[in-house]
Structure 1
Amino acid sequence: MATPPVNQWKTLDKDLRRIGHLEEATQFVARPLVAPGIALAFIVLVGVAAGILMGSQPGNLIVIAAAAIGAYMALNIGANDVANNMGPAVGANALTLGGALIIAAVFETAGALVAGGDVVKTVSTGILAPDAVADSTHFIWAMMAALLAAALWLNLATALGAPVSTTHSIVGGVVGAGIVAAGFGAVNWGALGTIAASWVISPVLGGVIAAAFLAFIKAKLIYAEDKISAARRWVPVLIGIMAGAFAAYLALKGLKRIVHVSLGEALLIGGAVGLAGWAIAMPMVRKQSEGLENRKKSLKKLFSLPLVVSAALLSFAHGANDVANAVGPLAAIVHAVEDGDVTAQVGIPLWVMVVGALGISVGLILFGPKLIRLVGSEITKLNQMRAFCVALSAAITVIIASWLGLPVSSTHIAVGAIFGVGFYREWHAERRARLLGLQKGKPVPPEERSRRLLVRRSHMLTVAAAWVITVPASAALSALIYVVLNGLTG
């Protein structure tokens, strides 16, 4: 009887399986490094492009280094700041995460390039007097330290899962470097005080307005006997308010490069667009509501499209308004290197705006999902109606703050609005539980009501702490970096 053939490939099969397992393990380890690798490649490309643009001009190495740091800053803005615009829409399931990333990238870039401010104060909102710094060299190091410190702080905040203000980060960086470069007297402490006040004003105002709209929606739509009839009456009104609010918001904050408008003119524009939005929405809502059941789920469908539009408009306004803040120090460095002097205002070169716009989009796609999920679904549960209230609150709060002359942060407003919606839901649910319990003769015990929390307190503490620490932390980092840069250049 013949012996069965021996598998001569047995050893090779084992080796191949080992190699296969090794490849799987390598891919698993390398996967988290893909995004940082792409980000590093973007920073290097920006540096190379800046070198080509500057050619052999004196100080080109400084501009290359500043451009790379500016690209790093823009990446971190995309990773952290844009979540406030897209998080509510994603959390409400009006947008998929992929759809949100694409819309945000397109509208952030469009806002930055089409309507981004072409003039920016070199030291960000008048925090540091340009003539207080001894010479252009020290000014360049101060701006570079501020830019790098703000970027590092945003990077750390993103890693910790805390949405913070880009403007406050760069202001803190300017303060820290400015104090070391020119002393405490060079800092405009009054302006810094108003920024500190916005830590309270922004979230409280945003939260109150968002809660008020949610209360209105509950009273007029959710608890109405005929929900569809109520929706046909009130949803076009809410869409008109949204259209008017965003028109005024964009006129005030997003169209500086195209045309300058006063607050009164912005309100007139908003009123006209709001009426047009209401007129257009009336037949659309009536057609969309045909055949819908008389239930809360039907109402959510009517808010999905307005929510997506509001998220896109918020991204456009953010790109127009915040990119200049982010790349302002980079523009100041380029101006100081090319002209050799320091002025109160400088123009932002187109290539600097492109760095900011593309950097925000790349950072959003690579690192944005973490904070989008946190803002959209980990603070409180959002649906289309609650998320609509958050987006609407963001636009209206900016208009009210401009009217009152108060400094506000779009980040703080959006996150405050989410907390406002959540806390209102808690209060409302507790109140209904108590009333219904009393009506049925079965009061709900206080310990049971205390367990029905609809807002995650741990995130509230983390976010609040990050907001308070942002300016001093970025200031301390900036001061340290300035000392190191100044020491290295002697």
Structure 2
Amino acid sequence: MDWVPVALVVALAMGFTYTNGFHDAANAIATSVSTRALTPKIALGLAATMNLLGGFAGVRVAQTIGADIISVPMGGAGVAVCAAALVGAICWNMLTWWRGMPSSSSHALIGGLGGAALAAGAAGATVKWQSILDNVLVPMLLSPVLGLLGGFAVMTAILWLFRRSAPGPTARGFRYAQTVSAAAMAFGHGMQDAAKTAGVVALTLVASGHRSPDDLSIPWWVIASSAVVLALGTYAGGWRIIRTLGSRIIDLTPPQGFAAEATAATVLYVATATGAPISTTHAISSAIVGVGATRSAKSVRWGVARSIVIAWVLTFPGAGLAAVVAYELLTLVT
């Protein structure tokens, strides 16, 4: 197969990565902006830089996406599956961004892959259900629980350790600390989300015959391209979602912002070390809720949290259905 179809899929992959960047920029900076620890411009610059660096550290996640979610037939049908998956994920990202809902770009991509593979079943594509259970669904359920409990525990520890400290100096100190925690969160986002797109491009290279199916390595130019485009998308920002995470769930204080970011970053690092493609949105959203619950259950705006959970639940079928439609349209025009 020539490089033209592959180049088109790579372009779609970079388009998805860009939407991922501005869709998920809120994950890294919403808490820091809402507590005024960082100005929006500085926060976006920091997040973009750390996304870029983190993108080079998530190869294990890329290998999971590229080899353990679906299998595709060789030739045009396999390339079409990858293209349709990316179209489905982009459509879902744009819809949830428009609605201001912090859904998971990662799960949109995985849902797109699954939907496209099901649509192409007659052509030889298959969904690796057991691998999805082990590598996607179990981490998907565990990461919000860990974020919720971790956020609650970290914030409880902060409240106890600083119980006799003056509120003003304490708040200023945690605003400085949030620079570190926001950077850590953005680095973790880069490790996870740049790698996922890289995995789809690697799968496309295998389907098109440009790489061996036994070669699990990810080409350096794929990792670099994903990291750069993710950073550019992050710098563009996604202010609708930033407002949701930063102020609509709870009114964050600097200590709470630090606790949420530190907790979410830790969850991301552990998941990346195991190769599990988890959602950065799930990690930070659940950590924010856990942090807020230390104040009182009433301080959390549960209606907003419920809307976010609904968006999470709809992500797999929504992106998958869009990918099915995209695959059927591609088969009609090719």
TM-score (norm 2): 0.89
Q: How far does residue 198 in structure 1 lie from its aligned partner after superposition? A: 3.9
> In 2, distance between residues paired with 1:68 and 1:406?
25
Matched residue type, 1:457: W
Tell me, what secondary structure is at the counterpart of 1:467?
Answer: helix
Does structure 1 retain, via aligned residues, the 8 Å contact 2:20–2:233? yes
Q: How far does residue 212 in structure 1 lie from its aligned partner after superposition? A: 1.4
Matched residue type, 1:459: V
Does structure 2 retain, via aligned residues, the 8 Å contact 1:122–1:346? no
> In 2, distance between residues paired with 1:460 and 1:181?
36
Correspondence for 2:332 = 487
Correspondence list, 1:242-321, <5 A: 295-321=166-192
Correspondence for 1:385 = 255
> In 1, distance between residues paired with 2:326 and 2:276?
31
Structure 1 position 212 matched with structure 2 position 57: no
Tell me, what secondary structure is at the counterpart of 1:81?
Answer: helix
> In 1, distance between residues paired with 2:200 and 2:52?
19
Q: Which among 81, 104, 110 is matched to residue 24 of structure 2?
A: 81
Residues 406/312 of structure 1: CA separation in 2 closer, same or farther (3 Å cut): closer
Tell me, what secondary structure is at the counterpart of 2:309?
Answer: helix
Residues 413/365 of structure 1: CA separation in 2 closer, same or farther (3 Å cut): same
Does structure 1 retain, via aligned residues, the 8 Å contact 2:249–2:289? yes
Residues 405/213 of structure 1: CA separation in 2 closer, same or farther (3 Å cut): same
Q: Greater Rg, structure 1 or structure 2?
A: 1
> In 1, distance between residues paired with 2:87 and 2:151?
35
Correspondence for 1:157 = 96
Correspondence list, 1:132-143, <5 A: 133=73, 135-143=74-82
Q: How far does residue 221 in structure 1 lie from its aligned partner after superposition? A: 1.2
- The CA deviation string for residues 389-435 of structure 1, in whole angstroms up to 9 with x for no partner, is 112211333466689998743321111010111222124xxxxxxxx
Tell me, what secondary structure is at the counterpart of 1:415?
Answer: helix
Correspondence for 1:28 = none
Structure 1 position 100 matched with structure 2 position 43: yes
Tell me, what secondary structure is at the counterpart of 1:139?
Answer: helix
Residues 78/178 of structure 1: CA separation in 2 closer, same or farther (3 Å cut): same
Does structure 2 retain, via aligned residues, the 8 Å contact 1:146–1:478? yes
Q: How far does residue 170 in structure 1 lie from its aligned partner after superposition? A: 1.4
Residues 124/330 of structure 1: CA separation in 2 closer, same or farther (3 Å cut): closer
Gaps in structure 1 of 5+ consecutive residues: 1-57, 228-294, 428-452
Does structure 1 retain, via aligned residues, the 8 Å contact 2:78–2:208? no
Residues 407/390 of structure 1: CA separation in 2 closer, same or farther (3 Å cut): same
> In 2, distance between residues paired with 1:109 and 1:402?
16
Matched residue type, 1:74: T
For the aligned residue pairs, the C-alpha RMSD in angstroms reads: 2.7
Tell me, what secondary structure is at the counterpart of 1:472?
Answer: helix
Does structure 1 retain, via aligned residues, the 8 Å contact 2:64–2:199? yes
How many aligned positions are there?
A: 332
Q: Which among 393, 401, 412 is matched to residue 282 of structure 2?
A: 412
Matched residue type, 1:470: T
Residues 205/122 of structure 1: CA separation in 2 closer, same or farther (3 Å cut): closer
Residues 366/342 of structure 1: CA separation in 2 closer, same or farther (3 Å cut): same
> In 2, distance between residues paired with 1:122 and 1:196?
13
Matched residue type, 2:329: V
Q: How far does residue 346 in structure 1 lie from its aligned partner after superposition? A: 4.5
Structure 1 position 121 matched with structure 2 position 63: yes
Residues 321/407 of structure 1: CA separation in 2 closer, same or farther (3 Å cut): closer
Matched residue type, 2:128: N
> In 2, distance between residues paired with 1:375 and 1:125?
33
> In 2, distance between residues paired with 1:128 and 1:204?
27
Tell me, what secondary structure is at the counterpart of 2:243?
Answer: helix
Structure 1 position 176 matched with structure 2 position 47: no
More moved, 97-106 vs 364-373: 364-373
Residues 193/332 of structure 1: CA separation in 2 closer, same or farther (3 Å cut): closer
Structure 1 position 65 matched with structure 2 position 8: yes
Identical aligned residues as a percent: 29
- The CA deviation string for residues 63-88 of structure 1, in whole angstroms up to 9 with x for no partner, is 33212211210111111223111111
> In 1, distance between residues paired with 2:200 and 2:288?
32
Q: How far does residue 176 in structure 1 lie from its aligned partner after superposition? A: 0.8
Does structure 1 retain, via aligned residues, the 8 Å contact 2:47–2:235? no
> In 2, distance between residues paired with 1:406 and 1:120?
10
Correspondence for 1:478 = 323
> In 2, distance between residues paired with 1:397 and 1:410?
9
